[in-house]
Amino acid sequence: MCKDTVIDKMKEAGLRITPQRVHIVELLYQLSHPTADQIYLKMTEKFPYVSHATVYNTLKKLKVIGVVRELSNGDKSSHFEMVETEHWHFNCKVCGEMYDLEAHKNEVLMAYGTNNYAFQVDSFRVEFYGVCAKCNAK
Amino acid sequence: MCKDTVIDKMKEAGLRITPQRVHIVELLYQLSHPTADQIYLKMTEKFPYVSHATVYNTLKKLKVIGVVRELSNGDKSSHFEMVETEHWHFNCKVCGEMYDLEAHKNEVLMAYGTNNYAFQVDSFRVEFYGVCAKCNAK
DNA sequence: ATAGGTGCAAAGAGTTTGCATATAA
DNA sequence: TTATATGCAAACTCTTTGCACCTAT
């Protein structure tokens, strides 16, 4: 999903396309699953008077219309990323780094349950997102 | 992993086995991925003067020794669960409910990309936990 | 005996809200 | 034109911290 598609979806959803919002979308592509505050800090380079409210508010709306996903792994603050269908992350319990796994996917899968790989994988979980049976029935 | 195994791991890690901590472990089994505050509230039934500090502190230590995992999906507060190797959750974007998927796993997998199932699956992600290559090399 | 845990209260951090002003449509 | 977004500041919620007392080992 490219930037223009995201902006189209925002228009469809009745959201206004402001320069701030466009830049937030751009930063979501540029930065690697940033926190709200990381986006805020980058924003200030282009919009020195941007407020936290704008960043949080926009991220929340992008999430509601389904183009952004909020991630957290028990760090203080949430991370955000553009929604793509398949998603793989590796979370290091030592340094707290969150890796995107497009490149390392097979290596991590192989590493699961062995000690012979650069990544040491202790466990994994799978998260599905959508509408549950109960809400679907309404 | 049963309660006694968890308590053994706590001893091995040099943690003291207090009545409060035993009860927190029990509640982690009884409740379905509770928040810290849900555990705190249940605690007060047995320990009327328990403090938030005790609950948060204990959950953190259980997490560090690897028997508890902290989950979050952008709700205000984190959810906690006992670590088991394979983990599947379904997160409903309408009601916010988090379902354990042992029973529904196949149904959810089938539902991915179709409209013919009770669960409507929009996307998924996979989270691995362990030690990254960089930290492993140290 | 003593290192570590508990309960209390206050502080900290991230996020949200209310409101006046500004702006996209 | 006008409904919506922005920026500011204050409020709110979740989590952590400091400290005196207590307790598991």
* Distance separating alpha carbons of residues B33 and A42, to the nearest angstrom: 35
Pairing mode, strands A88-92 and B120-131? parallel
Query: What pLDDT is attached to residue B55?
Result: 97
Q: What pLDDT digit, counting tens, does each position of A21-72 carry?
A: 999 999 999 998 899 999 999 999 999 999 999 999 999 999 989 899 888 7
Contacts of B136 (CB under 8 A, 6+ apart): A118, A119, A120
Query: What pLDDT is attached to residue A53?
Result: 96
Q: What pLDDT digit, counting tens, does each position of B57-85 carry?
A: 999 999 989 899 888 766 678 889 898 75
Kindly list the domain boundaries of chain A, sorted by start residue: 3-82, 88-137
Query: What pLDDT is attached to residue A77?
Result: 83
Percent of chain B with pLDDT strictly greater than 70: 76
Average pLDDT, chain B: 83
Nearest to B69 by CA among A58, A8, A122: A122
User: Which nucleotide comes closest to B50 if you measure CA to C1'?
Assistant: C7
List Cα–Cα distances, A125 to A54, B66, B71, in angstroms. Answer: 33, 14, 10
Q: Please, which pLDDT band fits residue B43 given cuts at 50, 70 and 90? A: very high
Strand-pairing partners, residue B89, are: A127, B100
- Say yes or no to pLDDT of A107 above 80: no
Q: Which residues of A83-92 are buried (b: 16+ CB within 10 A; e: fewer)?
A: beeebbbbbb
Q: Do A69 and B112 touch (CB under 8 A)?
A: no
Query: What pLDDT is attached to residue B32?
Result: 83
Query: What pLDDT is attached to residue B94?
Result: 61
Q: What pLDDT digit, counting tens, does each position of B82-132 carry?
A: 987 567 777 766 666 677 776 666 666 666 666 666 677 777 777 777 777
- End-to-end alpha carbon distance in chain B: 30
Helix (H) / strand (E) containing A23: helix A19-30
Distance, Å, B25 CA → C1 C1': 29
Calculate mean pLDDT across residues A76-104: 74
**CB-CB contact of A94 with B135 (8 Å):** yes
Give the homologous superfamily in CATH for domain A88-137.
Ferric-uptake regulator, C-terminal dimerisarion domain (3.30.1490.190)
| Contact status of A76 with chain B (Cβ, < 8 Å) | no
| Contact status of A106 with chain B (Cβ, < 8 Å) | no
Calculate mean pLDDT across residues A66-95: 77
Query: What pLDDT is attached to residue B35?
Result: 93
Query: What pLDDT is attached to residue A125?
Result: 77
* Distance separating alpha carbons of residues A43 and A88, to the nearest angstrom: 27
Average pLDDT, chain A: 83
Question: Using a CB-CB distance cutoff of 8 angstroms, which residues of chain A are in contact with residue B125?
Answer: 69, 71, 86-89, 126-127, 129
Query: What pLDDT is attached to residue A113?
Result: 61
Query: What pLDDT is attached to residue B52?
Result: 96
Strand-pairing partners, residue B130, are: A92, A121
CATH architecture of A3-82: Orthogonal Bundle (1.10)
Range picked from A121-125, B2-6, B40-44, B93-97 for highest mean pLDDT:
B40-44
Query: What pLDDT is attached to residue B104?
Result: 65
* Distance separating alpha carbons of residues B64 and A93, to the nearest angstrom: 9
Q: Do A73 and B127 touch (CB under 8 A)?
A: yes
Q: Please, which pLDDT band fits residue B44 given cuts at 50, 70 and 90? A: very high
Percent of chain B with pLDDT strictly greater than 90: 43
The amino acid at B62: L
